[in-house]
Amino acid sequence: MAKFIYRMQNILNIKLRLETQAKTEYAENAARLAAEEEKMHHLASRRQQYENEAKQSAMNRVNIASIKQSNESMAVMKELMTQQAVRIRIAQKNLDRARDKLNLAMQERKIYEKLREKAFEEFKQELNAQEKKEIDELVKKSLSKEELNNYKELLAKLLKTSPENIKKLHNGDKKVYRELVLKVHPDRNPDDKLANFRFVVVDKLYKMNKS
C-alpha cells in the first residue's frame, strides 16, 4: 500500500518548534510579570505599615524625630513603588509581545496542519481511485485461484468483509453472496458513493466461475 508523504512536513515541523519556543517565552514573561506584581504588593504592604506607624506616633504624641522618620520611609516607599510600576508596565508589554508571537505561531502551525489534512484527503482519494481501477480491471476477467489469492485482501477491503468470504464468494457460495448483496446494496447505503460499484463487484465475483 502506498505511504502518505507530506511534502511540507519539514516546514510544519519548524512551525511546531517555533510554537513550542513561543509558548516557553510566553510562560517566562508571564512569570516575570507575576514576580514584579508580587514585589509591588510587598512594597505597598510596607508603605501601609509605615503609614500606620506614623498615625500611631501622632496619636501617641511620639517625638518629632520618629514621625519624621516614618514620613521619610513612606516617601522612599512611594518612590520605589513608582519605579516598580515602570517595571510592571515593561513586563506587561513584554508579555503582550510574547502573546502576539505565540498567537502568530499557532496560526501558522494551523495553516500547515490544514494543508496536510487537505493533502491527506487528496492522497486517500487518489488511492481509492487507483484501487477502484485495479478492482474494475480484475472483475472484467475471470480470476484463477492463484490470482484471487493475490487480490483477495484488496477485494475484502472494498466489500467490507473477510478475505475468506471473498474466496467463498468466488467459489459460488450462495449464503455469502446473499449476505454481501444485502450488505452493499445501494438502496441500503444511499450515502455510499461506491455502493453501486461494490454491488457490481459482488455479483461479478459470484458469477465469475459460473459462466
pLDDT at 199: 85
pLDDT at 206: 82
pLDDT at 103: 97
Is pTM beyond 0.85 here?
A: no
pLDDT at 117: 95
- State CA 85 to chain mean position distance: 39
CB 128 within 8 A of CB 174: no
SS (H, E, C) 26-85: HHHHHHHHHHHHHHHHHHHHHHHHHHHHHHHHHHCCCCHHHHHHHHHHHHHHHHHHHHHH
pLDDT at 138: 63
Q: Mind listing the pLDDT tens digit of every residue in the chain (211 residues)?
A: 578 899 999 999 999 999 999 999 999 999 999 999 999 999 999 888 888 877 777 777 656 777 778 788 889 999 999 999 999 999 999 999 999 999 999 999 999 999 999 999 999 888 878 877 776 676 666 556 666 667 778 788 888 888 888 888 888 889 998 998 899 888 988 888 788 888 888 888 888 766 5
Backbone angles phi, psi at 8, to 5 degrees: -110, 25
